[in-house]
Structure 1
Amino acid sequence: MSAPTPQPNHAPGPAAAVWAMLLALTAGFALSNAYRTVAAILAAPLSAEQGLSPQALGIFAGSFHLMFGAMQLFMGIAIDLWGVRRTVLLASPLAIVGAVISATAPGYGTLLIGQSLIGIGCSPAFLACTVFISRHFPASRFASVSGIAMTVGTLGMLFTGTPLAWLVQSTSWRMAFTVLAVMSAIAWLCIWRTVHEPALPASTNARKENIGEAVARFGSLFMIPHTWGIVALGFVCYAAFISLRGLWLGPLLISRYGYSLVQSGNVALVLSLVALCGPMAFGRLDPGPAHRRRWLVVCTLLFSVLFAMIGFTHNAWGNIAAALAIGFLSGYLILQYADVRNAYPAALTGRAMAAFTMAMFLGIAAMQWFTGLIASMAEARALEPFGPVMYGIAALLVLAALAFTLLPSPPKHPAALQPHQS
């Protein structure tokens, strides 16, 4: 994929218009956050109605992320060839269709189809925001502006806390998808009315590749040695947080401590509020390229310790405190995006962001399947499943930190990497 070509770092219009466009794009990102965390609240009612095993729940939750991650390559190419606005407007209706299918699904198979369509429809959501920021804001502000966008996007998780738990308990899990479909349609209209990117310069248009060439150039990114450490860390870290918030938090509180659906929703709401603060805090605390990678390793190891604490400590308040700490610490994802931006020359930045985002969401799908398998194996041996699940996540985080540390690091001057060498 040829990179979504970095534009000169000036706004395409008044600053207020740029921020309005970014806000509209983050509305779509907020809905994708709601969809990816809905399983934490729906797990119990779905298990009761559909008789789903923990492994089936993991596949249900992971199907969104599998399609979301798999489509990053194609969405990156589409953003490059057709722009942010057109790509988002063409893909997003699939999320609406998927939500309607999920709301009316007669069985598990149809639910998986609905989740997959939602994943495809939401797939350009965050990539569109990061590319837009990289095009229209100075490089020195990338981490801080991305932190703001991620914070606004995290508002979508608030809906999948207490409000969704109350809605599901009062009506049914189907109503959750109905409301999300309506909210997705409203977000689509906001983007349609607000986001209007300027035409790319003629010289940029002349450099466009066809889809086959773009795919080949995207694949060549993995010939750069330091890509693998970046991908390894991205594959695990955000997946750990979403697996807790988006799948296991509700079942853990309900099964381990007897919480009601609304009570577990209250905890999810507070966790989401705490998670709102993380990206902005880490965006402002960004230590810069010289120390950023060390911070990433330390934060990943702290993540691992917190997950192990949830597995080991059978105390409701202790588990909740650890979950809240995980929510805040998850904001260090913004440092990973800043690391990707600094690890490649401008001509490769778009492809690198797409590859990182793809790894991140394929990682979520893999981790939710993997933790569902662990839980099913534990239950088959008459064991409480949440300890093994949390230990498994902690072990994966340690392995990711080791890979990031031991695999090659980016050169000090990434501009030396020419696109034809990738």
Structure 2
Amino acid sequence: MVTTPVTPPTPATARRAVVGATAVAALGGLLFGYDTGVISAALLYIAPAFQLSEMWQQIVVASLLVGAIVGVAVGGIVADNLGRRRTLSITSLVFTVGAVISAVAPNLPTLLGSRLLLGFAIGTASLSVPAYIAEIAPPESRGRLVSINQIMISSGILFSYLAGFLLADAAAWRWMLGLAAVPSLLMFVGLLRLPESPRWLVSRGRLDEARAVLGKVVGADRVESELTALSSAVTAERNVTYRDVLRPSLRPAIYLGIGVAAVNQLVGVNAITYYAPTLLTKAGFGESAAILSSVGIGVANVAFTLVGLLLIDRVGRRPLLLVGLGGVVVSLVVIGLLYAATDLSGVWAVALVAFLIIYEAMFSASIGLAMWLINSEIFPTALRGKAGSFGMFTHWGLNLIISLTVLSAFEAFTPSGLFWLYAAFGLIGFFYLKKYLPETRNRTLEEVEEILRARARK
């Protein structure tokens, strides 16, 4: 029997394969952003449709976060057992089912159930999408390709705001929620043609399949060296326990990971993401004007996420984070002053929207981006998954608490008091990070670990 030799892929073919896989998987990031942000506009119409009090409005928003926490808790286990690609396929179907049910929900319990489903998909996607992209991409382009997921999350939020604005006149909140079914179905179809992660295949002992996938994405001449590196990494991670993670030498890094995640949430970004139109209508804006203002906030989010990605390797993590966080604190103080000292009409209304946009820009280019990056750079490779989970749960836990309290705090503390509270948290975070955050750019993990230990001893 004569066999026809397989022609090795050219570098261009390998690049196209990796970019195509990244684009399909990153639709999970787009859905993450869309389903997170769409409630911002939809809530203006869901509240009267179901006659929701402010507390129930907060519960509708927070139900997504409850599902996300469950998704984060079990998503890694599911992905490790079923594989990255199959997990993403199931997640895309959950996104679709959740979007459809939320769009046709006849009552509040059904809507809450659908948002729990969507949250579960978001939590799972937050782990599986970057993991799949990182594991399918060659080392030299891994960081750049993984960052696409962050851009897609920001883009998803922007698209949700645009959908809210375009459908606002018709008060079509069901269409706002249901539109997410389109990219989720595209994601499911696209995943049917994608390969499994070579790293997962190696972890399951399926070396021939891993070799075949690596041949498509890195080229035949690098297959064996990549396979050896993957085998070594998988073996090292398999021997790691939480006892290893909690050893004294690693605690400064864990505290820092938790601290960065806490600051990310405590400056109130999701008060803006989830409630901007509601807060602006309370300030006297019309519904369409409030939703249009949120579109400007979404544009700033996408644009300055890109700016941050361009700057973070040039100016460094620490300067970018501290300057951006300082800008966040100043913006929050000014927003509080505008609420306290003006009637928010005319030029003052424009100033309020302008400083909300400045706030979002400063956040997106700094702490919004650095939270994920810092947690990926301060831990040894073999311990990164387990050690990073502390920051991940801090992020989602505080996200849930904030989503449950924004409208109540808005009334209890006054608008000025709420934004100044977020500013106070930001200021505390600024001095904490100024003291404990090392510059990780161009440093080895061993150098970062030693710096953290030295700072902890001071």
Mark yes or no: TM-score above 0.5: yes
CA apart distance, 1:293: 2.9
1:326-375 Cα offsets, whole Å, 9 max, x none, are 23221323333332222111112333444433332222212222323312
1:258-269 matched pairs, under 5 angstroms? 258-260=285-287, 262-269=288-295
Q: What is the one-letter code of the residue matched to 1:393?
A: Y
Deviation per CA, 1:376-419, whole angstroms, max 9, x where unpaired?
435xxxxxx433332232222223334434558699753487xx
Partner deviation per Cα, 1:192-214 (whole Å, 9 max, x = no partner): 3335433326446984999xx98
The higher-RCO structure (CA 8 Å, 6+ apart) is: 1
Question: What corresponds to 2:116 in structure 1?
Answer: 116
The one-character-per-residue Cα deviations of 1:227-283 (angstroms, maximum 9, x if unpaired) are: 1222122134256464244222101222213223x3322222222222112222212
1:316 maps to a residue whose letter is A
1:345-360 matched pairs, under 5 angstroms = 345-360=380-395
Q: CA deviation at 1:121?
A: 1.2
> % of aligned pairs identical?
18
Larger radius of gyration: 2
- Deviation for aligned residue 1:51: 2.9
Residue correspondence of structure 1 range 151-162 to structure 2 within 5 A? 151-162=151-162
Structure 1 counterpart of 2:170, which letter? S
| Distance in 1, Cα, partners of 2:296 & 2:319 | 29
Q: Which residue of 2 aligns with 1:331?
A: 365
Question: Unaligned regions of 5+ residues in structure 2, if any?
Answer: 1-10, 206-230, 339-343, 450-458
Instruction: Specify the alignment match of 1:283 in structure 2.
Output: 309
1:87 deviation in Å?
A: 1.9
SS in 2 for 1:200: helix
Tell me, in whole angstroms, the C-alpha distance in 2 between the residues paired with 1:221 and 1:321.
46
Separation in structure 2 between the aligned mates of residue 65 and residue 239 of structure 1, nearest angstrom:
16
The residue type paired with residue 200 of structure 1 is V
Is contact 1:37-1:246 (8 Å) kept?
A: yes
In the alignment, the residues of structure 2 paired with residue 195 and residue 386 of structure 1 have an alpha-carbon distance, to the nearest angstrom, of 50
What residue is the counterpart of 1:7 in the other structure?
none
Q: For residues 294-313 of structure 1, give each alpha carbon's deviation from its aligned partner in whole angstroms, at most 9, with x where no partner exists.
A: 43233223212212222221
Aligned: 1:257 with 2:288: no
Amino acid at match of 1:322: F
Amino acid at match of 2:399: I
Aligned to 1:414: 445
Displacement of 1:55 after TM fit? 3.3
Greater mean alpha carbon deviation, residues 395-404 or residues 56-65: 395-404
Which structure 2 residues correspond to residues 395-406 of structure 1 after superposition, within 5 A?
Answer: 395-406=424-435
Q: TM-score, normalised by structure 2?
A: 0.75
Corresponding residue number in structure 1 for 2:163: 163
- In structure 1, list runs of 5 or more residues that go unmatched: 1-10, 379-384, 418-422
Pick aligned residue for 2:401 from 362, 366, 390: 366
On the 8 A contact 2:335/2:352 being kept in 1, the answer is yes
CA RMSD in angstroms comes to 3.5
Match of 2:83 in 1: 83
**Residue range with higher mean Cα deviation, 219-228 or 229-238:** 219-228
**What amino acid sits opposite 2:398 in the alignment?**
G
Note if contact 1:28-1:184 (Cα within 8 Å) is conserved in structure 2.
Answer: yes
1:85–1:196 CA contact under 8 A, matched in 2: yes
